[in-house]
């Protein structure tokens, strides 16, 4: 497995992409109630009454407690052993949490912590394993740790200029070392062996890479397809989605190495690929092997049958699965069949060659949330509507809605609301869904309902108006507003909060004319949009806020890409907390507030996170899949 020098952040849909999503059309089911033509009434344009500047206090950063569920951003080391065990590490502060899944279908277990940032794991047997960790920051020497109880406890072995290790058993292994650069700035790479579990290493044999001008490799992978024959892949510093790579081979258990292939400067269909970043090589024999790449093709990897001289892309997972199926790790042979881990943390399993691949984990990828009496209503990637009990602990249930493009899904006592980009769908108990279309020509971008009857919609093409209804969408009032509405939050028929953007004057730009800067504010109305108060702060004015959600007239949350804000006095004062760099709470309905300091957040990944202290810290939300 390659050392990960760059941290990939989870990709989420930005506000700028939402208009594209809204251009998709929705459709009805055969059993849906016939369409009713809505009545539309234009109201007096809303006016801006005042601008307020709330007091904002910066508090400690949001803390995350993962429990037994790993962060699926895969920022740390990852490994699927030949025994079918999957390991993931996650850096939290100055330590790495280690998570294990003993079979593809089992649950995750938190094994505890290792010092520093773990950059590689290697398990030559089910119980014996080794880890390389950075404890003094990037570029420092790496610490080697060992375990003899399957990762439950670790002990330090030694520290050295390790780049990658490979152990044949609990005692014998080899390692790639990086020495200081020569006069030309090229590092000296060497391979040494150990027979005492890594305590001492014998005299090194040099690796012939200096003539290629490589920097210190951060993308490296060992793989042995037989006891004597093994391969070593080294990737250069990546850039712009491509990376030079070299593949070496040994036929004497690592004593000497020879070059097999390297990436050409120009595209060649069967060569060691230049595109993508090296993640892993995995050989199953002296000649048969696989290459996994970050930023590689969706659901595919590269295959060789002639010892790495020629390579071809092999499609194993669907290219259309949501979210992305680009691979991060692959093991073709385990006691449970083939196992694949994608770059956003989903785990796939193929029981036998030729059988279909099954997506085992996670059970969903929630992007939008609302809550009603202990049950979360969630919209997952791919437009699935889910009901997730968080109070009772009952299993999650999927709800089939008639909307093909699901923008929002909300639960009420006996009613469900589903919003597509062209209609509001309502289901009372188990009756047929009833469709209430939006006014002709309007396509929803954002929506929120306070009751099954009362809600508002921000739509295109008129981006400076709001559609409101008090009868479930049979009649609409169109209210013009002095801003571009985003992320509406409805407390009642008259009480609305939302984020709004205003376009400023043109700014000087030598490359493009008529460039204008958008400024963002928090807006509030208590009379259904006839007048507005806006709340201004430099902490969100130039950073497009992702969402706002109030529990009642006092308690509310606002979030941006890097901060979570809390008010308990209706917007006069806020407490701001920095979010982890990988956590991007989804736009619109990414946060669902509850009573007594509780709230749940979704970021398009898994699991859901829950707080009971108004966002100071979050734990993994308790629910059954």
pLDDT in tens, 40-51: 888 889 999 999
- pLDDT at residue 28, rounded to an integer: 37
Inter-residue contact 620 to 612 (CB < 8 Å): no
Cβ-in-10-Å burial (0-12, 13-18, 19+) of 342 comes to buried
- The fraction of the chain above a pLDDT of 90, given in percent, is 68
- pLDDT score for 408: 95
pLDDT confidence of residue 179: 66
Q: Two tokens at 369?
A: 């949330």
Report whether pLDDT(30) > 50: no
Digit-coded pLDDT (tens) for 592-624: 999 999 999 999 889 999 999 999 999 998 766
Q: How high is the pLDDT of residue 210?
A: 56
Where does the pLDDT of residue 215 fall: very low under 50, low under 70, confident under 90, or very high at 90 and above?
very low
pLDDT greater at residue 51 or residue 30: 51
- Give me the pLDDT at residue 318, please: 85
pLDDT at position 513 is 76
Q: Is the pLDDT of residue 6 over 70?
A: no
Where helices occur in 408-552 by DSSP H, the ranges are none
Q: What is the pLDDT of residues 415-471, one digit of tens each?
A: 999 999 999 999 999 999 999 999 999 999 999 999 999 999 999 999 999 999 999
Q: What's the average model confidence in pLDDT over 10-27?
A: 35
What's the rounded Cα separation, in Å, for the pair 105 and 193? 36
Between 187 and 97, residue with greater pLDDT? 97
**Lowest mean pLDDT: which of 178-187, 269-278, 489-498?**
178-187
Helices and strands (DSSP H and E) totals, the chain: 1, 52
Dihedral of CA atoms 599, 603, 608, 609 in degrees, nearest 10, equals -50
Tens digits of per-residue pLDDT, 132-161? Answer: 999 887 767 899 999 999 999 999 999 999
Question: Residue 394: CB partners within 8 Å, gap ≥ 6?
Answer: 624
Condensed to tens digits (0 to 9), the pLDDT of residues 491-527 reads 999 999 999 999 877 777 777 777 778 899 999 999 9
CA 609 to chain centre: 13
For 386, other C-beta atoms within 10 Å of its C-beta total 21
pTM score of the predicted model: 0.84
How does pLDDT run across 558-580, given as a tens digit for each residue? Answer: 999 999 999 999 999 999 999 99
Task: Compute the C-alpha angle 119/122/125, nearest 5°.
Answer: 160
Looking at every residue in the chain, the average pLDDT score rounds to 88
| Per-residue pLDDT at 582 exceeds 80 | yes
Please give the average per-residue pLDDT across 313-329, as a whole number: 84
What pLDDT, on a 0 to 100 scale, did the predictor assign at position 445? 94
Of 3 and 200, the structure prediction assigns the larger pLDDT to: 200
pLDDT, residue 21, reads: 32
Mean pLDDT of 166-173: 96
The 10s digit of each residue's pLDDT in 377-406 is: 999 988 899 999 988 878 899 999 998 789
Residue pair 76/107 in contact (Cβ under 8 Å)? The answer is no
pLDDT in tens, 220-254: 999 999 989 999 999 887 778 888 899 999 999 99
- 30: CB partners within 8 A, 6+ apart: none
Give dist(CA 285, CA 263) in Å, integer: 22
Q: Which CATH class is domain 15-57+364-499+521-595?
A: mainly beta
E strand segments, 186-306? 187-194, 205-206, 219-224, 230-235, 245-250, 258-262, 277-283, 289-294, 300-304
- pLDDT exceeds cutoff 90 at 187: no
The residue among 274 and 214 whose pLDDT is bigger is: 274
């Amino acid at each position: 497995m390659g050392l990960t020098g760059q941290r990939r952040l989870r990709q989420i849909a930005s506000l700028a992409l939402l208009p594209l999503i809204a251009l998709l059309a929705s459709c009805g089911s055969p059993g849906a109630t016939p369409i009713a033509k809505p009545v539309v009434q234009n109201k007096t344009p809303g006016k801006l009454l005042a601008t307020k500047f709330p007091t904002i206090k910066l508090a400690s950063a949001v803390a995350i407690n993962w429990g037994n569920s790993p962060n699926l951003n895969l920022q740390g080391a990852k490994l699927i052993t030949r025994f079918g065990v999957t390991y993931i590490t996650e850096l939290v502060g100055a330590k790495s949490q280690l998570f294990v899944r003993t079979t593809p279908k089992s649950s995750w277990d938190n094994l505890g912590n290792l010092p520093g940032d773990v950059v590689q794991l290697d398990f030559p047997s089910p119980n014996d394993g080794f880890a390389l960790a950075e404890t003094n920051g990037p570029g420092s020497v790496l610490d080697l740790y060992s375990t003899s109880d399957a990762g439950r406890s670790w002990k330090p072995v030694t520290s050295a200029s390790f780049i990658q290790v490979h152990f044949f058993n609990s005692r014998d292994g080899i390692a790639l070392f990086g020495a200081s650069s020569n006069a030309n700035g090229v590092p000296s790479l060497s391979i040494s062996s150990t027979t005492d579990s890594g305590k001492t290493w014998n005299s090194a044999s040099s690796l012939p890479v200096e003539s290629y001008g490589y920097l210190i490799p951060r993308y490296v992978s060992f793989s042995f397809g037989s006891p004597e024959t093994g391969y070593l892949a080294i990737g250069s510093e990546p850039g712009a989605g491509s990376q030079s790579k070299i593949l070496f081979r040994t036929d004497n258990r690592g004593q000497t190495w020879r070059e097999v292939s390297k990436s050409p400067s120009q595209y060649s269909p069967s060569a060691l690929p230049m595109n993508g970043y090296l993640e892993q090589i995995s050989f199953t024999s002296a000649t048969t092997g696989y290459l996994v790449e970050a930023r590689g093709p969706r659901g595919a990897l590269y295959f060789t049958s002639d010892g790495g001289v020629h390579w071809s892309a092999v499609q194993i997972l669907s290219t259309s699965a949501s979210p992305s199926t680009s691979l991060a790790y692959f093991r073709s042979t385990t006691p449970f069949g083939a196992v694949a881990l994608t770059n956003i943390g989903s785990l796939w399993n193929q029981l036998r060659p030729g059988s279909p691949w099954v997506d085992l984990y996670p059970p969903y990828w929630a992007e939008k949330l609302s809550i009603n009496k202990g049950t979360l209503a969630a919209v997952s990637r791919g437009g699935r509507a889910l009901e997730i009990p968080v109070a009772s602990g009952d299993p999650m249930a999927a709800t089939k809605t008639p909307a093909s493009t699901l923008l929002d899904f909300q639960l009420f006592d006996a009613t469900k609301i589903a919003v597509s980009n062209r209609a509001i769908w309502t289901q009372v108990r188990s009756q047929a869904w009833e469709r209430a279309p939006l006014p002709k020509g309007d396509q929803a971008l954002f929506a929120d309902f306070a009751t099954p009857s009362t809600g508002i919609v921000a739509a295109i093409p008129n981006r400076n108006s709001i559609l409101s209804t008090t009868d479930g969408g049979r009649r609409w009032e169109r209210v013009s507003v002095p801003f571009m509405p985003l992320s509406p939050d409805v407390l009642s028929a008259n009480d609305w909060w939302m984020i709004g953007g205003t376009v400023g004057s043109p700014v000087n730009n030598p490359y493009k004319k008529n460039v204008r800067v958008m400024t963002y504010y928090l807006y509030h109305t208590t009379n259904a949009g006839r007048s507005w108060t806006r709340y201004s702060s430099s902490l969100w004015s130039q950073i497009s806020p992702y969402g706002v959600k109030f529990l009642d007239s006092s308690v509310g949350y606002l979030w941006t890409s890097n901060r979570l804000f809390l008010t308990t006095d209706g917007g006069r004062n806020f407490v701001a907390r920095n979010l982890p760099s990988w956590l991007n709470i989804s736009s619109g309905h990414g946060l669902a507030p509850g009573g007594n300091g509780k709230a749940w957040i979704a970021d398009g990944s898994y699991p859901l996170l829950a707080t009971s202290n108004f966002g100071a810290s979050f734990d993994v939300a308790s629910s059954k899949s």
